[in-house]
Amino acid sequence: MKSVRKKLYRIAAAVMLIAVLAQNTVFAEETAQNTTVNSTAVSLSSPSAILMEASTGTVLFEKNPDEMRSPASITKIMTLLLTFEALEKGRIKLEDEVITSAYAKSMGGSQVFLDEGEVQTVETLIKCITVASGNDASVAIAEYVAGSETEFVNMMNEKAAQLGMANTHFLDCCGLSSDSGHYTTARDVAIMSRELITKYPQVYNYTKIWMEDITHVTSRGSEPFTLASTNKLLKQYQWTTGLKTGSTNAAKYCFSATASKNNIDLIAVIMGAPDPKVRFSEAQILLEYGFAVTRLYVDDNKQALGDIPVSRGRADRLAVEPRGAFHYLDVTGADFNQIEKRYQYVDNVVAPVEKGAEVGAIIYSLGGREIGRMPIIAAEPVEKAYFIDYLRRVLNKYLV
């Protein structure tokens, strides 16, 4: 009888503890910025330029990077970004067939000579844009994605705002406009280029193409047409991966060049070059400078981190993992073997916890200085426990 009474007392005491509320602790992620901007490292005749490392967004060189200028066909970087975003979301597919409108056919400037009513796949149109810079192909894909070029341009401006492209405004999807209301900057071009190549690296499958034939099928029959790349750096610089050229009378000669070497991806943007040779040569100068002064530290964070305690949850342990790989770009010649990492967790994780919620960080330091953090996140959800869950837990512990 006494044994039963003691068990009942324990149950009562445990049930009373259910009313005790734990206090949430908030973890704030901090990231050390590696500022390495150099404005005098190289001499350029082009009025505006920037050099950026893609994985970290570190700016290595800049010259008038926020000067608003006409972008010409490097506008199409945003068109490609929205196209790949639509593919990712399943709104369109590479094999989808797109019918060329009379409006798309009417585009002047660089074109692949699509005819009204001509049908091409989404993938073929991507090639027409990335390789031959087809204005007609850009409008055709814009109409297919958004219903009209006007609506697509609205999407372009919305995306620019989301990416923090503060000095950009688009009026068309191909850059043909000479209106002063169509503008961007070298920095903003680098931002959208970075978003495209880091989020959708499959774009390189198209931007590396030097020449490729497509087939025009119209009422006049079938006719082959050769797409020839406007990116001459593909043949001049072996590390080139892309990305987009542009030229109009207003913009002069522009180029967003991408290259990859020793696992480092660089973006060099040239705006307003006086001639096409200068835009390619000065982009190469920037890329060579970037590869010469940079080294990239990468921690893939593949290791398992186990679990940590969680309170007020249906489970009392929470599996955790790093959110992703950590990248640190160095230009000082530092010894990466001296990089240290430590793990910091929230003092008290309280349910409910959603999958992906931040619960700590891996903190990286070099020479006693913090160089960055990688969030530690919940690998699975933990639901909040209710009275019945606590009661069941107590009964299982003391009566079973």
Domains in the chain, please, with CATH? 2-30+300-398 (2.60.410.10), 48-293 (3.40.710.10)
Distances (CA, A) of 96 to 101, 102, 141, 162: 16, 19, 11, 28
> Residue 24's pLDDT is what?
31
What pLDDT sits at residue 138? 98
Residues of the chain with pLDDT under 70: 1-36, 38, 387, 389-400
What's residue 219's pLDDT?
83
Q: How far is CA 165 from the centre of its chain?
A: 14
Query: 104 and 143 in contact (C-beta within 8 Å)?
Result: yes
Active-site residue set? 73, 76, 133
Instruction: Name 14's Cβ contacts closer than 8 Å, sequence gap at least 6.
Output: 390, 394, 398
The pLDDT value given to residue 41: 79
What pTM does this model have? 0.83
pLDDT confidence of residue 59: 96
pLDDT at 9: 44
Confidence at residue 393, expressed as pLDDT on a 0 to 100 scale: 64
